[in-house]
């Protein structure tokens, strides 16, 4: 028995799991159809090198790309009441939520972290479109408020990356109430005199656009991101005509005065850093990639926050470990929540 | 002629019969139908009581949308004096879906702002069925700002299917306008009291209803999405609006339990549409009470409590 369970079974398992690997090696760009090698795509932060299509990127990858040396700490988010309406459509909301949590290994559609951008302490909240379309419910509201409170406590800026299909219907009116709730959080920052920067990513719609996503001191968007209140399909049904090319895309919004700039993902870190340093009246950020801070310059976050210590880039100056394993798990260890 | 809702069919038949009998008696002298008609009246009254005593959420949506319910314009006419409409967002246009201006409530100057759906084809088109565009929200912001500077309490009356989903509205920043209006509500240094009189349609309502005190008429609804919209997304079938209405918990009664609203204003039997005057009177009684609860608070306390109220929202669950 021991021989079978210790030797034969792992062998068989490894044979099967190995077969799945080649499927993930190549990704087809949804816009230009180019086949992209996973390593190349990951290095480009999931932007197609051929057509500049900005594809989905996970919040963890974004945190890593954004913070100095890829180092950051999670900010704890208070758990809201689970399924307060006992909502059920074809499926129970409680089950949908459980499935989404299992699939994404994240607690909900927004993650919050603190770290440094060009040595400037910054709190960053990132909405995850893959988690139930990034929809805004009580948890996202709590995450946003926790992010704002942390920024106020640290006297540092808040940067929010938005992406959402809108409010989370399964939480009914309580999802709608996240609009005023998050707006209160934005006011906390404004009153503390701290910058609040919004980066709109594909797609940001509905109640999220109509609350914190449009209240930034500086509004940035990724190229071609769909940004709207009512989606194009709803509008087409209402006015019964086809909409112009590029309607409700980032560049269109820029033309209509709704944004300050459209910035490629690979330039985001530098642009954000510059804006933050200007608004915080700090000296200019040093160009280029900064190594990770040698000392943990940040005070510990809330007691429940777990430091994301050992991300691939956390190896610091001996960063060749990271170079050797660029496809190392994008998620920082120790960042998992119950 | 009273406009009956789909679930009032039985009621329509009985009341129709009674009406017919009486009409016959009027043309034929000496015919006595009163006893029979009265019996029908009694039956109708019992049925009305039964129907309205146990409206389903979907039925409430229908009642909330009933065209004969009093609208913003009716409340303003009846409840306020010296109404002085103000217009325009000073930027693009005057949105007729949003009406508002200076007025007196019990002699005290206030700012009243409301969403108006219109009551016949022409006025409905003019009011865009109560669906505001960005300039409507920006007009509301302007009026709130004015009230703020002159220390006038703000009263908002809400009845809207939602913000208008149109090309121009998007181009001019519908989302931004709603976000700023909600922000303005939260920043007001003067009391803000809101009443949802019919439909509280999603973000389009939040922009007006983020208030110190929020009341709802007994059969009005307030929801993140229409039951039809929710059904087509989650059930992939727009005909499942009954189930969606049920699941969304959009009735005044559920919302009170969730702590989202502060007061329910009772409607006359058979809904606001059956007795407009009594409905308006009920709102007349409720408004000053709501306002008195917050009128004396100093500005910073008012803002602090209003923010606390919204931050705390979601801590109450429904009883299973």
Q: Looking at the predicted structure, is the pLDDT value of residue B308 above 60?
A: yes
How close A89 gets to chain B, by Cα (Å)? 6
- In this prediction, residue B31 has a pLDDT band, given cuts at 50, 70 and 90, of confident
B73 touches B115 (CB < 8 A): no
Domain ranges of chain B: 7-54, 61-319
Q: Which helix (H) or strand (E) holds B40?
A: helix B34-53
Scored b (16 or more CB within 10 A) or e, A207-236 reads bbbbbbbbbbbbbbbbbbbbbbbbbbebbe
DSSP sequence for B275-292 = -HHHHHHHHHHHHHHHHH
Q: How confident is the model at residue B261, as a pLDDT?
A: 96
Q: Residue B175: which of A173, A176, A210 has the nearest Cβ?
A: A210
A228 marked as binding residue? no
Residue A116's SS3 state is strand
User: Cβ B186–A174 below 8 Å, yes or no?
Assistant: no
Which of B54, B75, B108 has its CA nearest to residue B195?
B75
A156 marked as binding residue? no
Which of A262, A312, A302 has its CA nearest to residue A67?
A312
Alpha-carbon gap, residue B118 to B124, rounded angstroms: 4
Q: In what order do the strands lie in the sheet with A261-262?
A: A261-262, A218-221, A196-204, A158-164, A120-127, A110-117, A72-74, A307-308
User: Cβ B167–A214 below 8 Å, yes or no?
Assistant: no
Which of B216, B240, B213 has its CA nearest to residue B229?
B240
Alpha-carbon gap, residue B111 to A214, rounded angstroms: 27
The residues with which A255 forms a beta bridge, in sequence order, are none
Which of A207, A212, A104 has its CA nearest to residue A148?
A212
Q: Which helix (H) or strand (E) holds B224?
A: none
DSSP H stretches of helix in chain A: 2-3, 9-25, 38-43, 59-66, 93-104, 138-154, 172-176, 178-191, 206-209, 232-239, 250-255, 265-279, 320-324
Question: Other CB atoms closer than 10 Å to residue B157's CB: what's the count?
Answer: 29
Two tokens at B273? 């549409």
DSSP collapsed to 3 states, B69-126:
CCCHHHHHHHHCEEEEECCCCCCCCCCCCEEEEEEEECCEEEEEEEECCCCCHHHHHH
Q: How confident is the model at residue B78, as a pLDDT?
A: 96
Residues 51-70 of A with CB under 8 A from B: none
How close B75 gets to chain A, by Cα (Å)? 26
Two tokens at B57? 């959420």
- All residues of chain B having their beta carbon less than 8 Å from the beta carbon of residue A81 are 314-315, 317
Mean pLDDT, residues B62-79: 96
Q: Is B104 exposed, middle or buried (0-12, 13-18, 19+ CB in 10 A)?
A: middle
Task: Please report the ipTM that was assigned to this predicted complex.
Answer: 0.93
How close A174 gets to chain B, by Cα (Å)? 6
> Does the beta carbon of A42 lie under 8 angstroms from any beta carbon of chain B?
no
Question: Other CB atoms closer than 10 Å to residue B175's CB: what's the count?
Answer: 28
The residues with which B221 forms a beta bridge, in sequence order, are B199, B251
Q: Give me the domains of chain A, ranges plus CATH numbers.
A: 24-55 (no CATH), 57-279 (3.90.226.10)
A159 touches A114 (CB < 8 A): no
How close B279 gets to chain A, by Cα (Å)? 25
Residues 198-257 of A with CB under 8 A from B: 206-207, 209-215, 228-230, 234-235, 238-239, 243, 247-248, 256-257
Residue B147's SS3 state is helix
What sign does the CA torsion over A37, A40, A44, A48 have? Answer: negative
Alpha-carbon gap, residue B56 to A313, rounded angstroms: 57
Q: How confident is the model at residue B314, as a pLDDT?
A: 84
Residue A283, φ and ψ in degrees, nearest 5: -65, 160
Q: How confident is the model at residue A17, as a pLDDT?
A: 57
Distance of CA A224 to the CA centre of its chain: 17
User: Cβ B166–A87 below 8 Å, yes or no?
Assistant: no
Cα distances (angstroms) measured from residue B82 to each of A230, B77, B103, B113, B284:
38, 10, 5, 14, 16
Alpha-carbon gap, residue B132 to B162, rounded angstroms: 8
Q: Residue B314: which of A80, A87, A258 has the nearest Cβ?
A: A80
- All residues of chain B having their beta carbon less than 8 Å from the beta carbon of residue A171 are 224
Kindly give the interhelix angle for A265-279 and A59-66, rounded to the nearest 10 degrees.
60
Residuewise pLDDT in 10s, chain A (338 residues): 566 667 766 666 665 555 544 567 899 999 999 999 999 999 999 999 999 999 999 999 999 999 999 999 999 999 998 888 999 988 999 999 999 999 998 999 999 999 999 999 999 999 999 999 999 999 999 999 999 999 999 999 999 999 999 999 999 999 999 999 999 999 999 999 999 999 999 999 999 999 999 999 999 999 999 999 998 888 888 778 788 889 999 999 999 999 999 999 999 999 999 999 999 999 998 765 556 665 554 555 554 444 444 444 333 333 333 333 333 333 333 333 33
Pick the residue of B206, B222, B237, B300 with the most A CBs within 10 A to test the interface with A by mutation.
B206
Residues 21-40 of A with CB under 8 A from B: none
Alpha-carbon gap, residue B127 to B290, rounded angstroms: 28
User: Cβ A228–B311 below 8 Å, yes or no?
Assistant: no
Q: How confident is the model at residue A138, as a pLDDT?
A: 96
Distance between start and end Cα atoms, chain A:
35
Residue A163's SS3 state is strand
- All residues of chain A having their beta carbon less than 8 Å from the beta carbon of residue B313 are 174, 177, 180-181
Alpha-carbon gap, residue B260 to B219, rounded angstroms: 16
pLDDT digits (tens, 9 = 90+) for B208-254: 999 999 999 999 999 999 999 999 999 998 899 999 999 999 999 99
Mean pLDDT, residues B126-147: 97
Distance of CA B46 to the CA centre of its chain: 27
User: Cβ B316–A214 below 8 Å, yes or no?
Assistant: no
The model's pTM: 0.86
Two tokens at B218? 């007994």
How close B170 gets to chain A, by Cα (Å)? 7
Alpha-carbon gap, residue A184 to B211, rounded angstroms: 13
Q: How confident is the model at residue A316, as a pLDDT?
A: 38
> Does the beta carbon of A319 lie under 8 angstroms from any beta carbon of chain B?
no
Please compute Rg for chain A using Cα positions: 21
Q: Looking at the predicted structure, is the pLDDT value of residue B305 above 50?
A: yes
The residues with which B265 forms a beta bridge, in sequence order, are B217
> Does the beta carbon of A177 lie under 8 angstroms from any beta carbon of chain B?
yes
Residue A88's SS3 state is strand
Interstrand relation of B154-160 and A72-74 (parallel, antiparallel or unpaired): unpaired
User: Cβ A258–B176 below 8 Å, yes or no?
Assistant: yes
pLDDT digits (tens, 9 = 90+) for B188-208: 999 999 999 999 999 999 999
- All residues of chain B having their beta carbon less than 8 Å from the beta carbon of residue A176 are 202-203, 206, 223-224
A128 touches A59 (CB < 8 A): yes
- All residues of chain B having their beta carbon less than 8 Å from the beta carbon of residue A152 are none
Kindly give the interhelix angle for A178-191 and B174-187, rounded to the nearest 10 degrees.
70
> Does the beta carbon of A308 lie under 8 angstroms from any beta carbon of chain B?
no
Q: How confident is the model at residue A317, as a pLDDT?
A: 39
Two tokens at B219? 């059969």
Q: Residue A169: which of B170, B224, B258 has the nearest Cβ?
A: B224
User: Cβ A89–B243 below 8 Å, yes or no?
Assistant: yes
| Averaged pLDDT score across all residues of chain B | 94
Domain B61-319 in CATH 3.90.226.10? The answer is yes
Q: Residue B314: which of A174, A257, A258 has the nearest Cβ?
A: A174
Which of A199, A179, A177 has its CA nearest to residue A59?
A199
Alpha-carbon gap, residue A231 to A248, rounded angstroms: 9
């Amino acid at each position: 028995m021991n021989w079978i369970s210790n030797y034969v079974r792992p062998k068989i398992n490894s044979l099967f799991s190995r077969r799945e690997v080649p499927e993930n090696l190549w990704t087809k760009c949804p816009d230009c159809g180019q086949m992209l090698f996973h390593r190349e795509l990951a290095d480009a932060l999931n932007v197609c090198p051929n057509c500049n299509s900005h594809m989905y990127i996970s919040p963890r990858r974004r945190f890593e790309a954004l913070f100095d040396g890829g180092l950051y700490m999670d900010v704890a988010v208070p758990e809201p009441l689970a399924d307060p309406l006992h909502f059920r459509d074809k499926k129970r909301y409680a089950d949908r939520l459980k499935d989404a949590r299992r699939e994404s290994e994240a607690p909900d559609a927004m993650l919050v972290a603190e770290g440094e951008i060009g040595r400037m302490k910054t709190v960053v909240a990132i909405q995850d479109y893959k988690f139930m379309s990034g929809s805004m419910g009580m948890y996202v509201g709590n995450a946003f408020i926790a992010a704002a409170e942390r920024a106020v406590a640290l006297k540092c800026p808040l940067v929010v990356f938005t992406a959402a299909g809108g409010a989370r219907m399964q939480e009914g009116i309580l999802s709608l109430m996240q609009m005023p709730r998050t707006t209160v959080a934005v006011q906390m920052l404004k009153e503390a005199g701290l910058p609040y920067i919004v980066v709109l990513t594909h797609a940001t719609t509905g109640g999220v656009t109509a609350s914190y996503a449009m209240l930034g001191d500086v509004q940035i968007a990724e190229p071609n991101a769909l940004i709207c209140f009512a989606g194009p399909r709803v509008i087409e049904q209402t006015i019964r005509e086809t909409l112009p090319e590029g309607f409700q895309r980032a560049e269109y919004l820029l033309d209509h005065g709704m944004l300050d700039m459209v910035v490629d993902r690979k330039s985001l870190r530098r642009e954000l850093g510059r804006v933050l340093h200007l608004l915080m009246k700090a000296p200019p950020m040093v160009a280029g990639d900064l190594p990770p801070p040698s000392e943990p310059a940040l005070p510990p976050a809330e007691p429940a926050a777990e430091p994301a210590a050992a991300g691939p880039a956390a190896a610091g100056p001996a960063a060749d470990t990271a170079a050797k394993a660029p496809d190392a798990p994008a998620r920082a260890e120790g960042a998992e929540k119950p | 002629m009273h406009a009956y809702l789909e679930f009032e069919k039985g009621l329509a038949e009985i009341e129709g019969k009674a009406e017919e009998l009486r009409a016959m008696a009027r043309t034929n002298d000496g015919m006595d139908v009163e006893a029979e008609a009265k019996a029908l009246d009694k039956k109708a009254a019992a049925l009305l009581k039964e129907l309205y005593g146990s409206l389903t959420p979907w039925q409430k949506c229908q009642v909330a949308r009933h065209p004969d319910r009093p609208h913003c314009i009716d409340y303003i006419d009846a409840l306020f004096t010296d109404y002085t409409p103000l217009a325009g967002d000073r930027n693009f246009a005057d949105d007729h879906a949003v009406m508002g201006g200076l007025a007196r409530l019990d002699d005290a100057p206030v700012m009243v702002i409301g969403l108006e759906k219109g009551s016949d084809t022409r006025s409905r088109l003019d009011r865009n069925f109560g669906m505001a565009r960005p300039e409507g929200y920006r007009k509301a912001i302007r009026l709130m700002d004015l009230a703020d500077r002159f220390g006038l309490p703000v009263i908002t009356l809400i009845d809207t299917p939602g913000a208008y989903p149109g090309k121009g509205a998007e181009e001019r920043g519908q989302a931004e306008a709603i976000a700023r209006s909600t922000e303005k509500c939260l920043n007001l240094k003067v009391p803000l009291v809101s009443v949802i009189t019919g439909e509280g349609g999603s973000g389009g309502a939040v922009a007006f209803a983020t208030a110190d005190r929020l009341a709802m008429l007994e059969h009005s609804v307030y929801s993140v999405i229409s039951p039809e919209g929710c059904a087509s997304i989650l059930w992939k079938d727009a005909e499942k609006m009954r189930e969606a209405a049920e699941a969304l918990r959009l009735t005044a009664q559920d919302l009170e339990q969730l702590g989202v609203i502060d007061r329910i204003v009772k409607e006359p039997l058979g809904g606001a549409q059956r007795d407009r005057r009594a409905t308006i009177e009920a709102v007349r009684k409720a408004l000053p009470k709501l306002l008195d609860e917050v009128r004396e608070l100093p500005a910073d306390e008012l803002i602090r409590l209003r923010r606390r109220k919204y931050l705390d929202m979601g801590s109450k669950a429904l009883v299973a």
